[in-house]
Structure 1
Amino acid sequence: MGIGQGLGFVGATVVLVGLPGPNNLYISLRSLTQGRRAGVVSAIAIETGTVVYILAAALGLAALVQTSPGIITAISLTGATYLAYLGLRTLRRPAAAEPTATLAVEPLGRIFRAGVLVNLLNPKAALFFLAFLPQFATSGAGPEQLRNELLLLGLAVLVIGLALDLCYAVGAAELGRRLKPTGRGQTVQRWTVAGIYLAIAAAAAISAIG
């Protein structure tokens, strides 16, 4: 990969990974409602899902996706369903026990598992790794070289993605610390968070069907 292509790859990765989407919004909402630690755990969870996609791309599953576009549709609809579930679960969560807290605290293990699923069911991530990433590999490369190149490219995406995710986590945590809603504000926050989840779910479903 030449310097120009390398810069193009980094720039495209920063734009595509950094643009708000299910992954970024999941991290931000966790940080906003439960603090920096939850946001950092969410970021690590998202990038754990990235590792799965890197391995999938290296193993040649991109060709399978290109010949079976219904796979992306299935991922999109499943992801939309899961995001809708997160939104409805947020509405059903009780208020925090402490009057100065935001929403009731969820275990970090559950936050981690949900983050992995959000990324694995994110159609943007699937398209990036299974359709976009292989375009930067050497044309005509043998199977072993192609696999190694995709692993290296995926590692670069992982590093860039984790850096951007942590920025979202820290920024949203600071915003949440300053807002600190109480009383009626907690109810507004819960409905807002749930509404964002449901809006993303609706957008993903419409995009998949359309």
Structure 2
Amino acid sequence: MLTQQSLLAWTILSIGLVLLPGPDTMLVAGHAARRGFKAGMAAIGGIQLGGLLYMALCGFGFLSVLNAVPGLFMTVKIAGAIYLLWLGVQMLRGAVRPAPAGEAKVMPVGAPFRQGFISTVLNPKVAVFFLAALPQFVGTGPDAPLHGVLLIAIVYGLGLVWCVALAALATHAGRKVGQSSAMRWFEGALGVAFIGLAGRLALARNA
């Protein structure tokens, strides 16, 4: 059963989770800095859609399938690691061989939206976190799935506020540096970070 104390505790936990650097924040910052606020918001839209998927899975009681079906966690984990690795390599290539001035901003908004959604859905550690943490707050009663949806919504609501602020800051910073070497170093650093996240995800165990 949800109480004011448990909601407060979950909100504090959610703030820490949102502020912890991960694929979401890096995607938003990278697209906003490189291609502007609209691209950053597109990535945020994809991330939020992934959050809605987790809410739906929780509401219908399907979230635990990730652990229940043998091999499913491993399949999703490897797919997610490969996708993050691909994103990292693409960013490194862009840093080493930058596009001509102005060309980097012509990417359709569908691309960052798609990347945000796929990176969220193919990160099984997010689902495992919800599986591990939610029962401690919602229990196992008949209302548990509905309460779980509410708690997941809090996470993604806070994430929305943080990511929009991050997109605005990254857009401003991107306008300052333009297509300079600083931007190339930034994109290269993001590429390395994505490759590192891919390695962490590939080595992660189902807990």
TM range (shorter): 0.7 to 0.9
1:158 aligned to which of 156, 159, 164: 156
Q: Which residue is 1:48 aligned to?
A: 49
Give the Å deviation of 1:173: 1.8
Pairwise CA distance, 1:66: 4.1
1:96 to 91, 99, 108: 99
Contact 1:79/1:121 (8 A) holds in 2? yes
From 166, 169, 172, give the equivalent of 1:168: 166
Q: Give the Cα–Cα distance (whole angstroms) in 2 for the partners of residues 171 and 33 of structure 1.
A: 12
AA matched with 1:174? H
| 1:87–1:195 CA contact under 8 A, matched in 2 | yes
Aligned to 1:146: 144
The offset of 1:47, in angstroms, is: 0.9
Q: Which runs of 5+ in 2 are unaligned?
A: none
Change in Cα spacing, 1:140 to 1:96, as seen in structure 2 (3 Å) is closer
Shift of 1:55: 0.9
Q: CA RMSD in A?
A: 2.6
Matches within 5 A, 1:1-210: 1-68=2-69, 70-93=71-94, 95-98=98-101, 101=102, 103=104, 105-137=106-138, 139-142=139-142, 145-182=143-180, 187-208=184-205
Letter paired with 2:125: K
Q: How many residues align?
A: 204
Q: Percent identity?
A: 27
CA distance in 2, matches of 1:104, 1:96: 10
Question: CA 1:9 to 1:191, structure 2 compared with 1: closer, same or farther past 3 Å?
Answer: closer
- Residue deviations 1:162-189 (CA, integer Å, cap 9, x gap): 112212212222222222233x556545
Give 2:200's aligned amino acid: A
**TM-score normalised by length of structure 2:** 0.84
